[in-house]
């Protein structure tokens, strides 16, 4: 069942859908307590909501597959994450706040250390973000013959390079050798690519050469490597697909960018969850669908900080009542992927999910947790099937067939 099929059934309506994404929500049991971060959190409001709803588990991409934020979110909006690929370069650029145009080519850049012609540290001694920004400013003096290059700092040693110009293409290879002890590679057109890719490879090699000259005395950040050349994917807008006015309520640049990529209006809001709830309330009559993104649970998980992740979840719990008081026709609370503190990274584990709607069959689940939701009435299902379920509960899908 693909997105186009759902799209053909979608109709307009005077109903409201809310999707709350607690980034990195899913976790693993703590060795001593035996409880996941969510299970150990104090969440009276989410527990009451689970008690009054139907619950289940979401599988972001596939069993055993750990998704990045791009595919994890794309799937929540109903897109096949294996078909709509957001390239690494594009994700870096939109994460760095760049407003990419469809013809731009973007790449992820690492500042790195080169000694005797070999890459000896692909992170340039975990360069400080401030130094990264200073080096990017220097590199933005580079003038190319036939394109405009702009590099934007991300966190630590990472940056995003964007090429603008006519006759360029993402069909070129990485210069990043991926391992230390090897020389940086020349950028080459991928096999079968045409003239535009040859031109792009020439531009990239010219850029890297000039960057190397500028960085020569900046040891350990005396070189750059590039990878993941990509363009904005041609993503049909959720507004067209699902005939709804859609708003993205996120404060982190990358998630705002993902929202914009799928055609949502991106609203100004704050970092705190209660500020996002206030934003939704303010725009309640102007949109049919609200995607609310809350970042701190993921960040804490990545840091191995279970207590911090619990605080982030409890912050959502405290303000969820404000969302419910708006009386959405369908509201889901879930995550994009798991980020167990025990792993300090994204993981493949399914996400717990609450779906509250007057048109569902409440189940026996009485609290919001990974293992309670595993027994929920919706069972486990792919994230990309959630959108149709939300639209159905908002009575925004017509019957299929006679």
- C-beta closer to its own copies: residue 317 or 336: 336
- C-beta closer to its own copies: residue 275 or 385: 385
Instruction: Based on the shown chain and the rule CB under 8 A, indicate whether residue 143 belongs to the binding site for its own copies.
Output: no
Q: Which of 98, 292, 365, 389 binds its own copies (CB under 8 A)?
A: 389
The 3-class SS string of 260-329 reads HHCCCEECCCCCCHHHHHHHHHHCCCCCCEEEEEECHHHHHHHCCCHHHHHHHHHHHHHHHHHHHCCCCC
In the complex, the smallest distance separating the C-beta of residue 145 from its own copies, rounded to whole angstroms, is 30
Q: Which of 1, 14, 116, 117 binds its own copies (CB under 8 A)?
A: 1
Q: Which of 16, 276, 309, 349 binds its own copies (CB under 8 A)?
A: 349
User: Pattern 57-96, binding to its own copies, x per CB under 8 A?
Assistant: x---xxxxxxxxxxxx--------xx--xxxx--xx----
In the complex, the smallest distance separating the C-beta of residue 253 from its own copies, rounded to whole angstroms, is 14
Q: Indicate the burial class of 257 (C-beta count within 10 angstroms; 0-12, 13-18, 19 or more).
A: buried
In the complex, the smallest distance separating the C-beta of residue 123 from its own copies, rounded to whole angstroms, is 16
Instruction: Based on the shown chain and the rule CB under 8 A, indicate whether residue 392 belongs to the binding site for its own copies.
Output: yes
Which residues 6+ apart lie within 8 Å of 343 measured at CB? 28, 301
Pair 75, 384: CB distance under 8 Å: yes
Burial track 146-170 (b if 16+ CB lie within 10 A, e otherwise) = ebebbbbbbebbbbbbbbebeebbb
- C-beta closer to its own copies: residue 194 or 379: 379
User: Pattern 212-251, binding to its own copies, x per CB under 8 A?
Assistant: ----------------x-----------------------
Binding segment (CB under 8 A) for its own copies, from list 163-171, 175-183, 318-326, 339-347 = 339-347
Instruction: Based on the shown chain and the rule CB under 8 A, indicate whether residue 28 belongs to the binding site for its own copies.
Output: yes
Closest by CA to 154, choosing from 253, 85, 71, 225, is 253
Pair 313, 27: CB distance under 8 Å: no
Pair 187, 205: CB distance under 8 Å: yes
Read off the tokens for 91: 């994700």
CB count within 10 Å of CB 63 equals 10
Binding segment (CB under 8 A) for its own copies, from list 2-10, 187-195, 203-211, 311-319 = 2-10
Instruction: Based on the shown chain and the rule CB under 8 A, indicate whether residue 6 belongs to the binding site for its own copies.
Output: yes
Read off the tokens for 57: 């588990």
Which residues 6+ apart lie within 8 Å of 40 measured at CB? 30, 33, 306, 310
Instruction: Based on the shown chain and the rule CB under 8 A, indicate whether residue 363 belongs to the binding site for its own copies.
Output: yes
Instruction: Based on the shown chain and the rule CB under 8 A, indicate whether residue 196 belongs to the binding site for its own copies.
Output: no
Which DSSP symbol is given to 144?
Answer: -
In the complex, the smallest distance separating the C-beta of residue 327 from its own copies, rounded to whole angstroms, is 16
Binding segment (CB under 8 A) for its own copies, from list 114-122, 217-225, 268-276, 363-371 = 363-371
Instruction: Based on the shown chain and the rule CB under 8 A, indicate whether residue 383 belongs to the binding site for its own copies.
Output: no
Read off the tokens for 34: 């035996």
Binding site for its own copies (CB under 8 A): 1, 5-6, 9, 28-29, 34, 36, 57, 61-72, 81-82, 85-88, 91-92, 108, 228, 342-343, 345-349, 359-364, 370-371, 374-375, 377, 379-381, 385-393, 397-402
């Amino acid at each position: 069942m693909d997105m186009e099929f759902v799209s053909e059934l979608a109709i307009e309506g005077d109903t409201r859908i809310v999707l709350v994404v607690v980034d990195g929500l899913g976790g693993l049991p703590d060795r001593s307590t035996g409880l996941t971060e969510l299970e150990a959190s104090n969440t009276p409001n989410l527990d009451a909501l689970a008690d009054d709803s139907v619950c289940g588990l979401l599988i972001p991409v596939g069993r055993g597959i750990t998704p990045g934020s791009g595919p994890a979110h794309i799937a929540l909006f109903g897109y096949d994450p294996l078909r709509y690929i957001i390239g690494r370069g594009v994700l870096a650029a939109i994460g760095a706040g760049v407003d990419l145009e469809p013809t731009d080519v973007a790449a992820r850049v690492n500042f790195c250390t080169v000694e005797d012609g070999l890459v000896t540290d692909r992170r340039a001694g975990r360069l400080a973000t401030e130094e990264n920004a200073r080096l990017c400013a220097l590199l933005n003096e580079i003038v190319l013959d036939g394109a405009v290059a702009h590099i934007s700092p991300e966190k630590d040693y990472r940056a995003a390079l964007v090429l603008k110009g006519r006759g360029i293409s993402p069909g070129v290879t990485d210069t990043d050798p991926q391992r230390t002890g090897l020389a940086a590679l020349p950028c080459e057109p991928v096999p079968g690519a045409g003239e535009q890719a040859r031109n792009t490879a020439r531009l990239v090699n010219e850029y890297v050469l000039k960057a190397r000259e500028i960085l020569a005395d900046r040891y350990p950040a005396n070189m750059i490597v590039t990878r993941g050349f990509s363009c904005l994917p041609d993503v049909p807008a959720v507004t067209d697909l699902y005939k709804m006015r859609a708003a993205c309520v996120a404060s982190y640049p990358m998630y705002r960018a993902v929202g914009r990529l799928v055609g949502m209006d991106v609203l100004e809001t704050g970092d705190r969850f209660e500020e996002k709830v206030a934003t939704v309330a303010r725009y309640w009559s102007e949109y049919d669908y609200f995607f609310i993104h809350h970042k701190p649970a993921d960040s804490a998980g990545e840091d191995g900080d279970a207590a911090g992740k619990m605080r982030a979840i409890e912050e959502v719990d405290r303000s969820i009542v404000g969302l419910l008081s708006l009386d959405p026709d369908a509201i889901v609370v879930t995550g994009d992927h798991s980020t167990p503190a025990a792993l300090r990274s994204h993981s493949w584990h399914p996400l717990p999910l609450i779906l509250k709607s007057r048109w569902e069959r409440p189940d026996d689940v009485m609290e919001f947790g990974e293992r309670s939701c595993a027994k929920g009435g919706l069972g486990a299902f792919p994230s990309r099937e959630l959108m149709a379920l939300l639209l159905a509960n908002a009575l925004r899908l017509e019957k299929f067939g006679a």
